[in-house]
Chains A and B, each alone.
Chain A
Amino acid sequence: MPKPDLRAKLRLGLIVFVGLMAVEVIEYIVGTTISGALPYLVILTVPGAGLILYYYMHIEQIRHTGGE
C-alpha cells in the first residue's frame, strides 16, 4: 500500500481547504464592509467553486473517462 501517496493527497486536500477558507473569509469581509460588492463577490465565488470542482470532485475525470 503506497502510504506516502495517501499522505500527499490528504495534504493537498488540506491546502485546498485553506484556500477555500481564505476565499470565504475575504468574501465575508468584502460583503459586510463594501457596498456594491456584487462584482467582487462574483470574482471570488468562481475560483472558490472551481477549487472544489477541480480538486475535490475531480472534474477532469469527465475527459479521462471519455465522458464525451
Chain B
Amino acid sequence: MTILFSLGIVRGIIWGLASGGVAAGIVMAIRSGLGLPMWSPGPVTGVAALVGTLGFLTGLGAFNYWLEWALGRQKEEHHADQPRWRRYFGFDTNHKTIAIQYMVTSFLVIVVAGIYQLIDRLEVSAPGMQYISPGTYNSLMSLHGIMMLGAVLLGVSGMINYLVPLMIGARDMAFPHLNALSYWVTPPAVLLLLVSLPAGGFDTGWTAYPPLSARAPLGMQFMLLAFYLVGWSSILGSINFLTTIFKMRAPGMGLFRMPIFVWTALSTAILQLIFTQFIAMAFLMVLLERLLGLVFFAPDKGGNVILFQHLFWFYSHPAVYIFVLPGLGVISEVLPVFARKPLFGYAAVALSSLGIAGGGAVVWGHHMFAAGIEDVLRVPFMITTLLVAVPTGVKIFSWLATLWMGKIRLDTPLLFALTAIVVFLVGGITGVPNGIVPTDLHIHDTYWVVAHFHHTLFGGFVFPTMAAVYFWFPKLTGRFLNERVGKLHWAVMTVGFFITYLPMFWLGLNGMRRRIADYDPTLGLGPMNMVATIGGFLIALAMLLFFINLVVSLWRGAPAPANPWRSQTLEWQLSSPPPDENFSAPPRVVGPPYGYGTPGSIHAVVAPAGGTANKGA
C-alpha cells in the first residue's frame, strides 16, 4: 500500500479527482448564487477538468522544483535509489525516462484510436447501417482522427526526447523539469479524450469546424480541452528541444555535423513553437463561444466561420510537417547505416528540412479551396503548395542516391524505411491533385483525400517509427527485437497498408464521400470498401504482432552489444542501455556523422566511464 502511494501518479490521481470535485462544487455554488440553474454540464465539467489537471500535476510533484526555487530552497535530486520501474510512474526528469513514457502513451492511444476506426470500417464495409448508429459512427471517426494526431505528437516528442540529447552529446535536455511537465500534461489530456465518447461524442471530424462545433454535444468540449493541453505540451516541449539543440551540443558538434534526425527535430520544434499557438487559440475561441456566448464564428452576429478555418489550417498544415519530419529524419539515419554509405548530399538534406518547414508555413489555404475563400488567394496558395514538393524531392533523391551501389543489408529497420519511402512518395504524388484548384474542387472531401493523407502519415510517421523502434530498441533496452517476427510484422503491415488505402483512391474518384456512415448501394462502392476493411484488419494484426514482439523481446530477446549496427553516431558509442548521465565527459566531435565506407572516418571520440578515450567506430 505504501509503495502504491509513493508512486507519483497515484498521488496525482487522488489530488486530481479531489480538486476537480471541489472545483465542480464551487462552480455550482457560484451558479446558484447568481440565480442560474445549478447544474450545467459545459461550465461545470470544463472548470473541473482544468482544475483537476492542475491538481493532478500538483499531486504528482510537477511544481515542487519551482516552488522550492521561489522559496529559495533549492534541493538536490535523489531518485537514483528508486527501483527502475517506478521511475516511469512518477515525475522523473531524465530525458530517457520521459521519452519512454511518451512512446508508451503514444502506443496506447494508437491502439484505442485504431479500434475506434476498425468499428467504423466494419460499418462502411457494405452499404446500409449494420452495427452502429450514424451518430456513433461520426463520434468514432472524429475521435479516431484527433486521437491519432495526438498520438503522433506524443510519438514525435518521444523520439526527439530520447535521441537528440544522445546524438548531440548532451547529458540531458536543457530544462529537465519543464520536460517532465510537458509529458505529464498529456495523461490528463488522454483521459479527457477517452471521456469524450461517453460524454456524447461529437460529429465534426477532427477539424472541429464551427458552427457545428459550437453546438455539438458535450464530448466536443472535452476534445477541445484535451487538444489545448496537448498543444501546450507541444509548445513547452519545443522550447526545450530548441534550447537543447542551440546550447548543449558537444565540443566540435557544429550545426553541419549534426545527424539529420537532429536537423528534422530542429525544424519540427520551430513549427511547434510558432504555429501551435494558432490552433490553441482557435479551439479556445470555440470553447469561449460555447461557454460564454462570444460570437467569433456566429455569422448572424458579425462573426465569420472562415476565420476558424484560417486559424486552424495555419497550424494544421504545418502540423503535417511536425508529424512527418522526424520520421523522414529516421529514414535518413537508417539508410546510411544499412547501405554502408555516407548520406548523399548531407547539407542539402539538412537544409531541406528547414525548407519544408518554411514553405509549409504559407500553404494553408489549399485546405479551403472549396470553403469559399477569396478568389485571389487560390492561385497563390496553389503555387506555394506545389513548391513544397521541391525540398521534399531533395530528400527522396538523396535516399535513392544513398542506396545506389550500397552494400545493402535487408534487416527489419531498413525494410520499414524502404516501405516508408515508397508510401511517402505515393502520398506526395497523390497530394498534387489536392493542391491544384480545379481538381481539388472535385476530390475535396472524398476518400481520395483520406487515402492521400494516410499515405503521408504512414510514410512519414508510422513506418519510420517502426524502423526507429527496430533500430534503436537494442539501444533502449540492451536486447534485440525478434528479427523473424519483425520481418513478418513488416510484410503483413506493408501488404495490409496497400490493401487498405489503394482502394480508397478509387473510391474517392468514384464518389465515396468522407465522414459518412452510409452510401447509396447503386454506386457500386461496396466491394472496394470491403477490401479496404480487410486491409484495416491486416494492419491491426500487424500491430498485434509488433506489440507481442515488443513485450516478449523485452523479456527474453537476445542481448545486444553497444553498437550492433556498426553505426557512427554518438548514441551508439555508449553502452546499451546508456548510463543515466549519458556521457561521463563531453565527447569530442571530429568528423561528419555518416562517414561509412571511408577507412578511418570517425564522427566522435567518446570517453568511457573512468577509462581512456576510445575511438567511435
A contact residues vs B (CB 8 Å cutoff): 66-68
**A68 CA / B246 CA spacing, docked (Å):** 6
Q: How large is the interface on B (under 10, 10 to 19, 20 to 34, 35 or more residues)?
A: under 10
How far, in Å, is A62 (CB) from chain B's closest CB? 10
Residues of A within 8 A of B247 (CB): 66
Residues of A within 8 A of B246 (CB): 66-68
B contact residues vs A (CB 8 Å cutoff): 246-247
Ranked 3 nearest A-B pairs via Cβ: A67-B246, A68-B246, A66-B247
Residues of B within 8 A of A67 (CB): 246
Q: Looking across the interface, which residue of chain A has its beta carbon closest to that of B242?
A: A67
For the complex, would chain B's binding face be called helix, strand, loop or mixed by DSSP majority?
helix
How far, in Å, is A68 (CB) from chain B's closest CB? 7
For the complex, would chain A's binding face be called helix, strand, loop or mixed by DSSP majority?
loop
Q: Looking across the interface, which residue of chain A has its beta carbon closest to that of B243?
A: A67
**A67 CA / B246 CA spacing, docked (Å):** 7
Residues of B within 8 A of A66 (CB): 246-247
How far, in Å, is B168 (CB) from chain A's closest CB? 15
**A68 CA / B247 CA spacing, docked (Å):** 8
Q: List 4 A-B contacts (CB under 8 A).
A: A66-B246, A66-B247, A67-B246, A68-B246
**A67 CA / B243 CA spacing, docked (Å):** 8
How far, in Å, is B170 (CB) from chain A's closest CB? 15
How far, in Å, is B258 (CB) from chain A's closest CB? 14
Q: Looking across the interface, which residue of chain B has its beta carbon closest to that of A67?
A: B246
Residues of B within 8 A of A68 (CB): 246
**A42 CA / B247 CA spacing, docked (Å):** 35
How far, in Å, is A3 (CB) from chain B's closest CB? 27
Q: Looking across the interface, which residue of chain B has its beta carbon closest to that of A68?
A: B246
**A53 CA / B246 CA spacing, docked (Å):** 22
How far, in Å, is B155 (CB) from chain A's closest CB? 29
**A66 CA / B246 CA spacing, docked (Å):** 8
Q: Looking across the interface, which residue of chain A has its beta carbon closest to that of B255?
A: A68
**A66 CA / B243 CA spacing, docked (Å):** 11
How far, in Å, is A23 (CB) from chain B's closest CB? 27
**A66 CA / B248 CA spacing, docked (Å):** 12
How far, in Å, is A21 (CB) from chain B's closest CB? 31
Q: Looking across the interface, which residue of chain A has its beta carbon closest to that of B247?
A: A66
Q: Looking across the interface, which residue of chain B has its beta carbon closest to that of A65?
A: B247
**A38 CA / B246 CA spacing, docked (Å):** 38
**A43 CA / B247 CA spacing, docked (Å):** 36
**A50 CA / B219 CA spacing, docked (Å):** 44
**A66 CA / B247 CA spacing, docked (Å):** 8
**A4 CA / B222 CA spacing, docked (Å):** 58
How far, in Å, is B105 (CB) from chain A's closest CB? 32
